[in-house]
Structure 1
């Protein structure tokens, strides 16, 4: 194990993690996308991509994970573990 605090096998799917953290913060998908654009300076993100992440259609890469961590207050290790868990789950489908 790489010493991370959250093991992939114990992690929730990243879509569920993003959705619950967003809702705890009282943000809509549009507002989350706007916040991510603001902190990243990357205007290529919209609500549609947030929706795809939350539905498990896509897994945000490390670039967006770092910004999600900052905006949603989710530890980076937790996001990485959730991303790994989601990818592992997809491989077994």
Structure 2
């Protein structure tokens, strides 16, 4: 399993970016990017959202090392884990729109 620095470098190279180009996108120095990729330093918390956007990779993949080849959906659909949950979902879907809205409000989701 690769560490953060390897995943960072791999994501940068996948896009064909040099350390200098990535540094420019993030408004940091090339030396900072080099230090991250060599494991001497880690990027500050404030840079993580920018890294995600610039490298077009999820923070889960970048930080935690989830399978980089696996495409993660932006919003994963919920799946019933057992028969009871499936029955609840079926019953919910049969409700009129007003009742569904009331249930969501009751659950704090509406």
**TM-score calculated relative to the size of structure 1:** 0.63
More helix by share: 1
Stretches of structure 1 that go unaligned for 5 or more consecutive residues are 1-10, 38-44, 83-93
Alignment of 1:1-80 (within 5 A): 12-37=2-27, 45-80=28-63
Q: Is the Cα contact below 8 Å between 1:65 and 1:79 reproduced in 2?
A: no
Stretches of structure 2 that go unaligned for 5 or more consecutive residues are 66-110
Q: 1:12 aligns to what SS in structure 2?
A: coil
Q: Which of 1 and 2 has higher RCO (CA within 8 Å, sep 6+)?
A: 1
**TM-score calculated relative to the size of structure 2:** 0.54
Q: Report deviation, 1:78.
A: 2.2
* Aligned counterparts of 1:26 and 1:65: Cα–Cα separation in 2: 20
Q: Which runs of 4+ in 1 moved over 6 A?
A: none
Structure with max Cα Rg: 2
